[in-house]
Structures are given as C-alpha cells and as structure tokens.
Amino acid sequence: MRYLPLTDADRSQMLHRIGAPSIDALFADVPEAARLSEKIPGLPDHASELAVERHLSALARQNMAAGEVPFFLGAGAYRHHVPASVDHLIQRGEFLTAYTPYQPEIAQGTLQVLFEFQTQVARLFGCDVANASMYDGSTACWEAIGMARRITKRSKAILSSGLHPHYVSVAKTMARFTGDELVHETPRLEAATDADALIAAIGKDTSCVVVQYPDILGRIGDQSAIAAKAHEAGALLIAVVTEPVALGALTPPGEMGADIVVGEGQSIGVGLQFGGPYLGLFATQQKYVRQMPGRLCGETVDAAGQRGFVLTLSTREQHIRREKATSNICTNSGLCALAFSIHMTLLGEKGLRELAMLNHGLAVEAADRLARVPGVTLLNDGFFNEFTLVLDRDARTVVRQLAERNILGGVSLGRLFPDAPEIGHGLVVTVTETCTSEDVEALAAALEEILA
C-alpha cells in the first residue's frame, strides 16, 4: 500500500518493543463478538492510483460541467473566473496540510491570513469585525439568528420572503428544536422587495429581521428603513449576502444599519463544487463581538515584542465553554477562507469594482435581450447580476428542455419552492463575467424555440 510505510520487519520490531505477539492482540479490549477476524467481505481490495483516477474520471465525465455549456445558474452559488494563482497557492502543503492554528508560533502563516481575511470581510460588509469563517451561508444565517436571540433575549425572528429558501429551511429545522418562532412567507412575483411588509411586522417581541441583499429573485432594496424600525423596537437587522461580488457595486448592508451581516463567500475564490465545501462569512459591529460564534484571530506580540497573531476570545467557544458556548462549531472553512482572501487580494479595490460592474453590465444586456423573447417578462427593476424572468409556463419543464439542448439556463422557482405553484413560472437567471454574448444568444434562441 503506497500510503502505508511500515514493513513487516518494522512491525515485528515494534511489536517486540511493545511486548505484544501481534497487531490483533492490541485490539484485546474489543469484545470478541465485535472483532472482525478478516477484512469486511463484499468490498474490493486496494487499487492503484491509475485505477482510482480512471474510475473517478469516468464518473466526472457523466456530469455536465458548467464551463462546457452556456451556463446561467446562481441562486446561492455563483460561477466566477478564479485566477490560476489562487489554486496554486492553496495547494501549498504548508496551507493545505496544516491543522487549526493551535500552536501559534508555527502557524503564523494561517493566522496572518485569517487576520487579513477578517479585515477584508468586515470592510466588504461595512462592519467593524468578522470571524474566521463558518461552514456556509445557510448555517451562518442560522447562527446569526441565534446570536440575535442571545443579545435581545427574544426568540421571534422575521425572515424576509426574499431569503434563500434553503436558508429558511435550515432555520426552520433548527428552530423546531430551539423553540425560536420564525415568521416567513413565500415571495411574490413583484418587482418590489417585501420591505414594507417586514417593517409592518416588527414588534416588541421581535428578535431580528433577516433580509437577503440582493434577494433570491435578484431584487435590491434599501435596508435603512428596516434597520431604523428594528432598532426602534429593540430588534436587530441581519443581512444575508449570497453573492459578495455584488458589494463591489452596491452600498454594503453595514452602512445601512445592519447589526449582523452574514454571507456565502463561495463566489470569490472557491468555485461551484456541487454545493460544498463553501464558506460562511460572518461580520458584526464592535459591541456584539463577544456574542459572535466561531473562531476569531487577533493581533498580539510575542515574548520578544514582535507582532504576531493568535486565536482569541476562545472563552466563547465549545472547547472551553462546553455546553455554554456560543456555538458548537469547531472545524470551519479555513482553506476556503484562504482561497477567498487570495482572490480578494488579487482583485483589490480596483479589480473588485471592475468585476462587479462587468457582471452588472453583462446582466443588464442579457436581461434586455431575454425579455424580448415572446412569452418572457423581466420581473426586476433593479438587480445586480441575477434577475427573475417570468415565463408563460412552468419554468421547471423549460429548464429540463434547455438542459436537453445542452444549456444550463437558470434555476426554476419550482425547484426552490416546490410547494408554491403560484410562482412556478419564475426562472432565476444569473449572468457573470464567465457568460459570453454567444451564450446569451444561445439561451435566447433556445427559449424562443421552447416557448414558441
């Protein structure tokens, strides 16, 4: 076995020092009845690198890779070009094969990256501080709701109808067990966000309002009025950003009064990967730092007075506080945070703004072209790189017909909201810098054919 270095001679020498007759004898504490005397039957034996690569490559070829076809999916996961140097750097063994930086003297690389990452995320979101990452956007969103409960000592959260339905599902799953009350409705196919309804729903028992920006239909709404009303009632505003590239062009939620901003960082540096691993982003304002979940990296000095970084405020965390911790999270998304941070450093302010305006410009052109297809209406007034088309029929079928023509044309609202047939004509289309005008033309032509 190529990964197992011990030889039989090594094993017998080692057993001799241990004073055991065999490796099996080391398992004497396992009750006889539970100890397998042979390898588990019905499973293949070890395989060469070539054989394994061949098998998995064959499975990979059974998938339609986004880069091979016109591709317009978003709805919480976005395809952007990731510079070659990002993947090169995250594959350096010193990053890839390191553990959580519990011994800071020999983990300054990871720690400095986390400190830089926290600063990048806080600045992008318009917040004071950010943590060192969560699993993904959906779990970060639930953690934010829990944090709002701890701060306000209230347990009724109002979720915008524009919040990603999977994020809503995750919150509902958890709320069943924690006793939180969640208020939520299915979105309507309207150009305006549900800001007015949210403001009307805020009361003295509200812990938080959760809005997505841009929302699941691609709409963009000013959050200032929601924040003002929430704060007046003693509640928090949580903003969810599933496409952080948008904040290269848009005013960040932290500047509009959001108390906690969480997000999915996948679109910068991480890639699609069929849904994971992704990168939960979590930022808040200074006064709430000690209620934050997850790991935090902080600056300090060493015994010689040199600047260095350590994991800090761990008295919030499970390994110290056990059942009183702010979260049970331990392993997070370190390597994805590194990828995000490298990509963001390569972009810089200038690159991120250019990328954002390129996405927006291409999306505007594509929206106008697609809206000219008979049977298609553009729902949005405002949007960033994602918008909703209202078709003259159920969009689920149309998506399948597009796939048969080797076009991945968008995400149908029927897939996202299977229990809401009244919005089943909606198709969420995303246009990033990876989409060419030929791609848009192919989608428009195919829609013309299918909807004819």
Partner 1 sequence: MSMLNEGRPTRPDQAETAAPATATGNRALMLEEALIFEIGTADTTGVDFAPAPKVAPRLAGLERRRPIGLPGLSEQEAVRHYTRLSRQNYAIDLGVFPLGSCTMKHNPRLNERVARLSGFADIHPLQPVSTVQGALAVIDELAHWLKMLTGMAAVAMSPKAGAHGELCGLLAIRAALEARGDARSVVLVPESAHGTNPATAAFCGYKVEDIPANADGRVDLEALKSRLGPDVAAVMITNPNTCGLFERDMKKIADAVHAVGALVYCDGANFNAIVGRVRPGDLGIDAMHINLHKTFSTPHGGGGPGSGPVVFSEALAPFAPLPFVEKNSDGYHLVEEETAEDHHGGSFGRMVAFHGQMGMFTRALAYILSHGADGLRQVSGDAVLNANYILRSLEDVLDAPFGATGPCMHEALLSDKGFAEGFTTLDVAKGLIDEGFHPMTMYFPLVVHGAMLIEPTETESKAALDQFIMALRSVAQRARAGDTTLRSAPHHAPRRRLDETQAARKPVLVWAEPPLPEAAE
Residues 373-392 binding partner 1 (CB under 8 A) are 380-384
Binding flag, residue 394, partner 1 (CB under 8 A): no
Number of other CB atoms surrounding residue 21 within 10 Å = 10
How many angstroms separate the CA atoms of 89 and 104, rounded? 21
Binding flag, residue 352, partner 1 (CB under 8 A): yes
Q: Which is nearer to partner 1, 36 or 452 (CB)?
A: 36
DSSP codes, 148-167: HHHHHS--EEEEPTTS-HHH
How many angstroms separate the CA atoms of 258 and 104, rounded? 33
Residues 163-222 that bind partner 1 (CB under 8 A): 164, 166-167, 169-170, 172-174, 176-179, 219-222
- Would you say 297 and 310 are in contact if contact means Cβ atoms under 8 Å apart? yes
8, 21, 29, 149: which one binds partner 1 (CB under 8 A): 29
Could you say which DSSP state residue 33 is in? G
Shortest distance, position 340 Cβ to partner 1, whole Å? 12
354, 371, 377, 405: which one binds partner 1 (CB under 8 A): 354
Shortest distance, position 118 Cβ to partner 1, whole Å? 6
Shortest distance, position 442 Cβ to partner 1, whole Å? 16
Number of other CB atoms surrounding residue 313 within 10 Å = 16
**Binding window for partner 1 (CB under 8 A); candidates: 19-27, 149-157, 181-189, 198-206:** 19-27
Residue bearing tokens 């959906």: 138
Shortest distance, position 362 Cβ to partner 1, whole Å? 6
**Residue in 222, 221, 218 with CA at minimum distance from that of residue 378:** 218
Kindly report the CA angle at 193 between 188 and 198, in degrees rounded to 5?
95
Q: Which is nearer to partner 1, 27 or 203 (CB)?
A: 27
**Binding window for partner 1 (CB under 8 A); candidates: 56-64, 182-190, 201-209, 227-235:** 56-64
154, 156, 229, 360: which one binds partner 1 (CB under 8 A): 360
Q: Which is nearer to partner 1, 124 or 238 (CB)?
A: 124
Binding flag, residue 33, partner 1 (CB under 8 A): yes
Binding pattern for the stretch 417-446 against partner 1, x by CB under 8 A and - elsewhere: -xx-------------x-------------
3-class SS of residue 236: strand
- Would you say 426 and 189 are in contact if contact means Cβ atoms under 8 Å apart? yes
Q: Which is nearer to partner 1, 60 or 204 (CB)?
A: 60
Residues 262-291 that bind partner 1 (CB under 8 A): 264, 271-278, 289
User: Which H or E element spans position 243?
Assistant: none
Q: Which is nearer to partner 1, 373 or 427 (CB)?
A: 427
Give the tokens for residue 250.
């848009």
Residues 305-344 that bind partner 1 (CB under 8 A): 306, 308-310, 312-315, 317-325, 327-336, 338, 342, 344
Residue bearing tokens 């049970």: 328
Angstrom distances, CA of residue 142 to CA of 113, 136, 170, 224: 26, 10, 7, 22
How many angstroms separate the CA atoms of 4 and 432, rounded? 45
Shortest distance, position 99 Cβ to partner 1, whole Å? 5
Per-residue burial over 328-355, b = 16 or more CB atoms within 10 Å of its CB, e = otherwise = ebeebbbbbbbbbbbbbebbeeeebeeb
Phi-psi region of 72 (alpha: psi -120 to 50; beta: other; left: phi over 0): alpha
Residues 70-109 that bind partner 1 (CB under 8 A): 71, 73, 75-77, 79, 83, 85, 87-109
3-class SS of residue 57: helix
Name residue 207's amino acid: S
Q: Which is nearer to partner 1, 15 or 390 (CB)?
A: 15
Residues 217-256 that bind partner 1 (CB under 8 A): 219-222, 247-252, 255
Q: Which is nearer to partner 1, 205 or 437 (CB)?
A: 437
**Binding window for partner 1 (CB under 8 A); candidates: 150-158, 199-207, 227-235, 412-420:** 412-420
**Residue in 76, 7, 142 with CA at minimum distance from that of residue 275:** 76
